[in-house]
Amino acid sequence: MTAPTTTTSVLPDASAKEVHAAITEGRGWTRWALLAVGLVAALALPWIVYPPIAMDIAAIALFAVALDILLGYTGLLSFGQAAFWGSSAYVTGLVAIHYGVPFPVAVLAGALFAMALAVPIGYLSVRRSGIYFAMVTLAFAQMLYFLANKWSDVTGGENGLQAVPKNFFGIELVETDAFYFYYAALPIILFGMWAAWRIVHSPFGRVLVAIRDNAPRARALGYDVERYKLIAFVLSAGLSGLGGGVFAISHGFVALGELHWTTSGEAVLITVLGGIGTLWGGIVGALVVVTMSDQLTSSGFDGIGIITGSVFIVVVLLFRRGIWGTGRHAWFRWRARRQ
């Protein structure tokens, strides 16, 4: 990075090259093997961990993947992603409560709302980059948080939106048993993952990477940088919304905390932990963070924050590419040596 740029890449240089490599080279058997392994893992998850936790992992993984589109592939650190996760959760919950529609319809409504909300917010914030972009998105998310807190007739305020039903065509097993619900909701998550994968592997996704690496050059090549960023922002919001909607239905209620900035922060933490600009990193990060905090809550140990904080510090200091990124880096090196 010699030329001065207006967009600051959040990735170290080496990793940026690897993202590029992953996009162009990942056409071999490794890609299919990874997808197959991922799919089997997704299907096997509720057999290994407690099903509601498995659902949390899946929903939060999608949230992190959605954030990664912005953070890893567009170079935008959104610190207000909770706005879309949370508002979708509320809209999903309200639609499910008041209209009694099957839950996938409610989740879709939530995600569409999140996308609609992302248009004005994105329009105003993509004109800024770096810390300013983070601050503007954070400000919008906090606005929504206070709005939801104040508007308690609709949202339940601090008490949360309670008793969200899991309507699913009257199939009782899905509506009452978290294990079957997981399989009913998993297609939504997988669709979101697939969409994210398509986005970053499309020509559109390559433009995003180009903007991330050198926005003036992308502009010089004739790309409307702001428009691309806005579209990425809206798509990311929609996918975050899918995750938030599933999360709300799975829990049967919406907590005010879904809109809080700590939720945005957790998404960033998970993505960085897993490895930014990898998509898989979000999934791995969610798996690690959710499982860890679940185990710790039952352990009787009262310093949960200390453990998660320490793990984060260790990963950021020693494995800057994140868990997935470090693994992939090692894999690339090993393959390069063999050739």
Partner 1 sequence: MNHKKFAAGTVALASGALFLTACGGGPSSSGGDFTDDKIVLAVLNDQSGIYKDLSGPNSVKAVEMAVADFKKKYGDDAVVDDIEIESADHQNEPDIANTKAQELYDRKGADVILDVPTSSAALAVANQAKTKKKLFIDIGAATTELTGAQCNKYTFHWAYDTYMLANGTGTSVTEGGAKNWELVYPDYEFGQDMTDQFSAAIEKAGGSVDGTIATPFPNDNFATFLTKAASGEPDVIGTMQAGGDLINVVKQYNEAGLRDRGIDLAVGLMFITDIHSLGVEQFAGTTFTDAWYWNMDEEARAWADRFTEETDTRPSFAHAANYSAALQYLEAVQAAGTDNADKVVDQLEGKKVDDVFLRNGEIRAEDHRVIHDAYLAKVKDADDVKEEWDYEEIVATIPAEEAFRPAEDSDCSM
Range in contact with partner 1 (rule: CB under 8 A) among 8-16, 120-128, 149-157, 307-315: 149-157
Residue 9 found at the interface with partner 1 (CB under 8 A): no
Q: Among 10, 11, 16, 53, indicate the residue that binds partner 1 (CB under 8 A).
A: 53
Q: Among 119, 143, 171, 304, indicate the residue that binds partner 1 (CB under 8 A).
A: 304
Q: Among 10, 16, 56, 95, indicate the residue that binds partner 1 (CB under 8 A).
A: 56
CA 288, CA 79: separation in Å to the nearest integer? 21
Residue 26 found at the interface with partner 1 (CB under 8 A): no
CB of 261 to partner 1, least distance (A): 14
* CA-CA-CA-CA torsion sign (184, 188, 191, 196): negative
Rank residues 253 and 332 by Cβ distance to partner 1 and give the closer one: 253
Tell me the two tokens of residue 17.
């090259």
Tracing tokens 């945005």 back to the chain, one arrives at 264
Residue 287 found at the interface with partner 1 (CB under 8 A): no
Residue 310 found at the interface with partner 1 (CB under 8 A): no
Rank residues 119 and 139 by Cβ distance to partner 1 and give the closer one: 139
Phi, psi of 127 (to 5 degrees): -70, -15
Query: DSSP strand E in 163-235: where?
Result: none
Tell me the two tokens of residue 227.
């428009």
Residue 302 found at the interface with partner 1 (CB under 8 A): yes
Residue 297 found at the interface with partner 1 (CB under 8 A): yes
Q: Among 123, 183, 204, 319, indicate the residue that binds partner 1 (CB under 8 A).
A: 183
CA 325, CA 273: separation in Å to the nearest integer? 9
Q: Among 5, 152, 295, 326, indicate the residue that binds partner 1 (CB under 8 A).
A: 152
CB of 97 to partner 1, least distance (A): 12
- For every residue of 239-257, DSSP letters joined together read HHHHHHHHHHHHHTSB-GG
Range in contact with partner 1 (rule: CB under 8 A) among 18-26, 69-77, 248-256, 322-330: 248-256
Tell me the two tokens of residue 241.
């919304």
Residue 13 CB neighbours (<10 A): 10
Rank residues 120 and 305 by Cβ distance to partner 1 and give the closer one: 305
CA 208, CA 190: separation in Å to the nearest integer? 23
Residues in CB range of 190: below 8 A, 6 or more apart? 39, 42
Rank residues 302 and 336 by Cβ distance to partner 1 and give the closer one: 302
Tracing tokens 């592939």 back to the chain, one arrives at 73
Per-residue burial over 227-256, b if 16 or more Cβ lie within 10 Å, else e, is ebbbbbbbbbbbbbbbbbbbbbbbbbebbb
Residue 187 found at the interface with partner 1 (CB under 8 A): yes
Q: Among 109, 178, 189, 237, indicate the residue that binds partner 1 (CB under 8 A).
A: 178
CA 282, CA 66: separation in Å to the nearest integer? 9
CB of 66 to partner 1, least distance (A): 18
Residue 309 found at the interface with partner 1 (CB under 8 A): no
Residue 23 found at the interface with partner 1 (CB under 8 A): no
Rank residues 116 and 304 by Cβ distance to partner 1 and give the closer one: 304
Taking CA atoms, 138 is separated from 20, 75, 85, in Å, by 29, 16, 13
**Helix and strand numbers, DSSP H then E, in the chain:** 16, 0
Rank residues 198 and 227 by Cβ distance to partner 1 and give the closer one: 198
Q: Give the binding site for partner 1 (CB under 8 A).
A: 32, 35-36, 39-40, 43-44, 47, 50, 52-53, 56, 149, 152, 157-160, 162-163, 176, 178, 183, 187, 190-191, 194, 251-253, 255-257, 293-294, 297-298, 300, 302-304
